[in-house]
Amino acid sequence: MRVQAIISYDGSKFQGMQSQPHGQTIQDTIEKALKKLNINSKINYAGRTDTGVHGLNQSIDFEIPYFWNNLEKLKFSLNKIITPYIFVKFIRIVNDNFHSRFLATKRSYRYLITNRFTPFNAPYTLYKKNLDIELLQKSIKLFEGEHDFEFFSKKGSEVNHFIRKITHSNIILHKNYVIINFEGNGFLRSQIRMMVKFLLDISDKKFTPSDLSKQLNKQKLISNDLVIPNGLYFKKVWYEDFNYRR
Protein backbone atom coordinates (compact mmCIF):
# COMPACT_ATOMS: atom_id res chain seq x y z
CA MET A 1 0.00 0.00 0.00
CA ARG A 2 1.24 3.49 -0.85
CA VAL A 3 1.37 6.32 1.65
CA GLN A 4 2.16 10.01 1.43
CA ALA A 5 4.06 11.80 4.19
CA ILE A 6 4.54 15.52 4.78
CA ILE A 7 8.00 16.21 6.17
CA SER A 8 10.12 19.15 7.31
CA TYR A 9 13.91 19.17 7.39
CA ASP A 10 17.01 21.20 8.12
CA GLY A 11 18.77 21.27 4.77
CA SER A 12 22.03 22.52 6.25
CA LYS A 13 22.69 19.00 7.57
CA PHE A 14 22.35 17.24 4.19
CA GLN A 15 23.75 17.23 0.66
CA GLY A 16 20.35 17.91 -0.87
CA MET A 17 17.24 15.80 -1.35
CA GLN A 18 18.17 13.40 -4.15
CA SER A 19 20.05 10.18 -3.37
CA GLN A 20 23.83 10.35 -3.89
CA PRO A 21 26.59 7.71 -3.71
CA HIS A 22 27.89 9.08 -0.40
CA GLY A 23 24.44 8.59 1.15
CA GLN A 24 24.29 11.89 3.03
CA THR A 25 21.04 13.16 1.53
CA ILE A 26 17.50 13.44 2.82
CA GLN A 27 16.29 10.67 0.52
CA ASP A 28 19.08 8.32 1.63
CA THR A 29 18.45 9.07 5.31
CA ILE A 30 14.73 8.35 5.05
CA GLU A 31 15.18 5.18 3.00
CA LYS A 32 17.73 3.85 5.49
CA ALA A 33 15.27 4.57 8.31
CA LEU A 34 12.50 2.75 6.41
CA LYS A 35 14.70 -0.31 6.02
CA LYS A 36 15.15 -0.43 9.79
CA LEU A 37 11.36 -0.70 9.97
CA ASN A 38 11.30 -3.52 7.36
CA ILE A 39 10.06 -1.18 4.63
CA ASN A 40 12.08 -1.65 1.47
CA SER A 41 10.88 1.19 -0.73
CA LYS A 42 12.31 4.09 -2.67
CA ILE A 43 10.68 7.44 -2.01
CA ASN A 44 9.30 9.98 -4.46
CA TYR A 45 9.37 13.67 -3.53
CA ALA A 46 7.60 16.82 -4.70
CA GLY A 47 10.68 19.00 -5.09
CA ARG A 48 14.36 18.25 -5.51
CA THR A 49 16.00 20.68 -3.10
CA ASP A 50 19.71 21.46 -3.34
CA THR A 51 22.37 21.19 -0.66
CA GLY A 52 21.54 23.60 2.16
CA VAL A 53 17.92 24.19 1.12
CA HIS A 54 15.31 23.56 3.80
CA GLY A 55 11.85 22.00 3.73
CA LEU A 56 8.76 23.13 5.65
CA ASN A 57 6.06 20.93 4.07
CA GLN A 58 7.74 18.65 1.55
CA SER A 59 5.70 15.73 0.24
CA ILE A 60 7.15 12.24 -0.15
CA ASP A 61 5.47 8.92 -0.96
CA PHE A 62 6.52 5.29 -0.66
CA GLU A 63 5.20 1.73 -0.42
CA ILE A 64 4.64 0.06 2.94
CA PRO A 65 3.76 -3.54 3.78
CA TYR A 66 0.28 -4.17 5.14
CA PHE A 67 1.50 -5.01 8.63
CA TRP A 68 2.21 -1.26 9.00
CA ASN A 69 -1.51 -0.43 9.13
CA ASN A 70 -1.11 1.84 12.16
CA LEU A 71 0.09 5.05 10.51
CA GLU A 72 0.45 6.97 13.77
CA LYS A 73 2.79 4.27 15.04
CA LEU A 74 4.69 4.39 11.74
CA LYS A 75 5.07 8.16 12.04
CA PHE A 76 6.30 7.82 15.63
CA SER A 77 8.76 5.06 14.72
CA LEU A 78 10.16 6.98 11.74
CA ASN A 79 10.59 10.15 13.76
CA LYS A 80 12.40 8.25 16.47
CA ILE A 81 15.06 7.33 13.89
CA ILE A 82 15.36 10.43 11.69
CA THR A 83 15.01 13.32 14.16
CA PRO A 84 16.25 15.91 14.98
CA TYR A 85 17.02 17.12 11.43
CA ILE A 86 14.05 15.51 9.62
CA PHE A 87 10.54 15.32 11.01
CA VAL A 88 7.44 13.51 9.69
CA LYS A 89 4.42 15.76 10.30
CA PHE A 90 1.66 13.67 8.73
CA ILE A 91 1.08 10.34 6.94
CA ARG A 92 -1.95 9.21 4.94
CA ILE A 93 -2.86 6.33 2.61
CA VAL A 94 -3.04 7.31 -1.08
CA ASN A 95 -3.87 5.60 -4.37
CA ASP A 96 -1.28 3.25 -5.83
CA ASN A 97 -0.66 5.68 -8.72
CA PHE A 98 0.02 8.66 -6.45
CA HIS A 99 3.30 10.48 -7.16
CA SER A 100 4.44 13.46 -5.09
CA ARG A 101 6.14 15.16 -8.01
CA PHE A 102 3.98 14.40 -11.04
CA LEU A 103 0.59 14.96 -9.41
CA ALA A 104 1.44 18.25 -7.68
CA THR A 105 -0.63 21.15 -8.99
CA LYS A 106 1.21 24.00 -7.28
CA ARG A 107 4.30 24.62 -5.17
CA SER A 108 5.57 27.52 -3.11
CA TYR A 109 8.99 28.61 -1.88
CA ARG A 110 10.25 31.35 0.41
CA TYR A 111 13.61 33.01 0.84
CA LEU A 112 14.69 34.62 4.13
CA ILE A 113 17.02 37.62 4.39
CA THR A 114 18.06 39.27 7.64
CA ASN A 115 19.77 42.60 8.39
CA ARG A 116 21.04 41.39 11.76
CA PHE A 117 23.82 38.82 11.68
CA THR A 118 24.26 36.04 14.20
CA PRO A 119 26.21 32.81 13.67
CA PHE A 120 23.20 30.90 14.97
CA ASN A 121 20.94 31.81 12.04
CA ALA A 122 23.67 31.88 9.37
CA PRO A 123 22.70 28.41 8.01
CA TYR A 124 19.06 29.52 7.67
CA THR A 125 19.12 33.05 6.26
CA LEU A 126 21.07 35.36 3.99
CA TYR A 127 22.61 38.31 5.81
CA LYS A 128 22.25 41.49 3.76
CA LYS A 129 21.64 45.12 4.68
CA ASN A 130 20.33 48.21 2.89
CA LEU A 131 17.85 46.54 0.56
CA ASP A 132 15.72 48.77 -1.67
CA ILE A 133 12.40 47.22 -0.68
CA GLU A 134 10.27 49.43 -2.92
CA LEU A 135 12.36 48.52 -5.98
CA LEU A 136 12.27 44.83 -5.02
CA GLN A 137 8.49 44.85 -4.65
CA LYS A 138 8.14 46.44 -8.08
CA SER A 139 10.62 44.11 -9.77
CA ILE A 140 9.35 40.80 -8.35
CA LYS A 141 5.98 41.27 -10.04
CA LEU A 142 7.68 40.94 -13.43
CA PHE A 143 8.05 37.22 -12.75
CA GLU A 144 4.31 36.64 -12.43
CA GLY A 145 2.49 34.93 -15.29
CA GLU A 146 3.56 32.25 -17.75
CA HIS A 147 7.09 32.55 -19.10
CA ASP A 148 9.84 30.52 -20.70
CA PHE A 149 12.31 30.43 -17.80
CA GLU A 150 15.21 28.83 -19.69
CA PHE A 151 17.47 31.78 -18.81
CA PHE A 152 16.53 31.31 -15.15
CA SER A 153 17.44 27.65 -14.89
CA LYS A 154 20.65 25.79 -14.24
CA LYS A 155 22.31 24.24 -17.29
CA GLY A 156 21.76 20.52 -17.58
CA SER A 157 18.18 20.62 -16.32
CA GLU A 158 16.46 17.44 -17.52
CA VAL A 159 13.08 18.85 -18.57
CA ASN A 160 10.95 18.72 -21.71
CA HIS A 161 10.31 22.47 -21.71
CA PHE A 162 11.08 25.57 -19.65
CA ILE A 163 7.60 27.10 -19.51
CA ARG A 164 6.37 27.66 -15.98
CA LYS A 165 3.62 29.83 -14.49
CA ILE A 166 4.19 31.91 -11.37
CA THR A 167 0.77 32.67 -9.93
CA HIS A 168 1.81 34.81 -6.98
CA SER A 169 4.88 36.55 -5.60
CA ASN A 170 5.47 39.07 -2.85
CA ILE A 171 7.94 40.51 -0.39
CA ILE A 172 7.03 40.74 3.30
CA LEU A 173 8.84 42.65 6.04
CA HIS A 174 8.77 41.01 9.47
CA LYS A 175 10.93 42.42 12.26
CA ASN A 176 14.53 42.00 11.07
CA TYR A 177 13.59 39.77 8.13
CA VAL A 178 12.73 40.25 4.48
CA ILE A 179 10.68 37.29 3.22
CA ILE A 180 10.51 36.68 -0.53
CA ASN A 181 7.67 34.37 -1.62
CA PHE A 182 7.03 32.59 -4.93
CA GLU A 183 4.07 30.35 -5.79
CA GLY A 184 3.59 28.56 -9.09
CA ASN A 185 2.75 25.38 -10.96
CA GLY A 186 6.39 24.28 -10.95
CA PHE A 187 9.97 25.51 -10.80
CA LEU A 188 13.12 24.58 -12.68
CA ARG A 189 16.39 23.53 -11.12
CA SER A 190 17.91 26.49 -9.19
CA GLN A 191 15.24 28.82 -10.65
CA ILE A 192 14.30 30.38 -7.31
CA ARG A 193 17.91 31.02 -6.32
CA MET A 194 18.62 32.61 -9.70
CA MET A 195 15.54 34.83 -9.54
CA VAL A 196 16.32 35.98 -5.99
CA LYS A 197 19.93 36.79 -6.93
CA PHE A 198 18.75 38.88 -9.88
CA LEU A 199 16.36 40.77 -7.59
CA LEU A 200 19.14 41.46 -5.09
CA ASP A 201 21.39 42.72 -7.89
CA ILE A 202 18.59 45.09 -8.90
CA SER A 203 18.41 46.32 -5.31
CA ASP A 204 22.18 46.94 -5.42
CA LYS A 205 21.70 48.89 -8.70
CA LYS A 206 23.87 46.40 -10.57
CA PHE A 207 20.93 45.61 -12.86
CA THR A 208 17.59 47.27 -13.62
CA PRO A 209 14.01 46.00 -13.92
CA SER A 210 14.45 46.48 -17.66
CA ASP A 211 17.39 44.05 -17.57
CA LEU A 212 15.16 41.56 -15.79
CA SER A 213 12.50 41.89 -18.48
CA LYS A 214 15.11 41.33 -21.21
CA GLN A 215 16.34 38.11 -19.59
CA LEU A 216 12.82 36.95 -18.79
CA ASN A 217 11.83 37.45 -22.45
CA LYS A 218 15.04 35.66 -23.53
CA GLN A 219 16.30 38.72 -25.36
CA LYS A 220 19.61 38.63 -23.51
CA LEU A 221 21.25 36.43 -20.87
CA ILE A 222 22.50 38.96 -18.36
CA SER A 223 23.21 36.83 -15.29
CA ASN A 224 22.85 33.23 -14.17
CA ASP A 225 24.40 33.74 -10.73
CA LEU A 226 22.81 32.00 -7.73
CA VAL A 227 22.10 33.35 -4.29
CA ILE A 228 23.38 31.12 -1.47
CA PRO A 229 20.99 28.25 -0.59
CA ASN A 230 20.89 28.98 3.16
CA GLY A 231 17.78 31.15 3.07
CA LEU A 232 15.68 29.02 0.71
CA TYR A 233 12.75 26.95 1.97
CA PHE A 234 10.42 24.56 0.14
CA LYS A 235 7.27 25.96 1.70
CA LYS A 236 4.25 24.00 0.50
CA VAL A 237 2.81 21.73 -2.21
CA TRP A 238 -0.78 21.34 -3.39
CA TYR A 239 -2.73 18.37 -4.84
CA GLU A 240 -6.25 18.27 -6.28
CA ASP A 241 -7.58 16.05 -3.49
CA PHE A 242 -5.39 17.23 -0.63
CA ASN A 243 -4.05 20.45 0.84
CA TYR A 244 -1.93 20.18 3.97
CA ARG A 245 -2.77 23.14 6.21
CA ARG A 246 -0.99 22.49 9.50
**Each residue of 105-163: pLDDT tens digit?**
999 999 999 999 999 999 999 999 999 999 999 999 999 999 999 999 987 666 889 99
Q: What per-residue confidence (pLDDT) applies to 245?
A: 61
Q: What per-residue confidence (pLDDT) applies to 242?
A: 78
Give every CB contact of residue 181 below 8 A, 6+ residues apart in sequence: 108, 109, 110, 168, 169, 170, 171, 172, 235
Q: What does the H/E/C string look like for 194-218?
A: HHHHHHHHHHCCCCCHHHHHHHHCC
Per the prediction, the chain carries an average pLDDT of: 95
What pTM was estimated for this model as a whole?
A: 0.94
What letter represents residue 127's amino acid?
A: Y
Separation CA 193–CA 206 (nearest Å): 17
Separation CA 123–CA 226 (nearest Å): 16
Q: Which of 28, 50, 61, 211 is an active site residue?
A: 50
Total residue length of the chain: 246
Q: φ, ψ for residue 48 (rounded to 5)?
A: -85, 100
Whether the per-residue pLDDT at 35 is higher than 80: the answer is yes
Is 96 catalytic? The answer is no
Cβ atoms of 5 and 26 within 8 Å: the answer is no
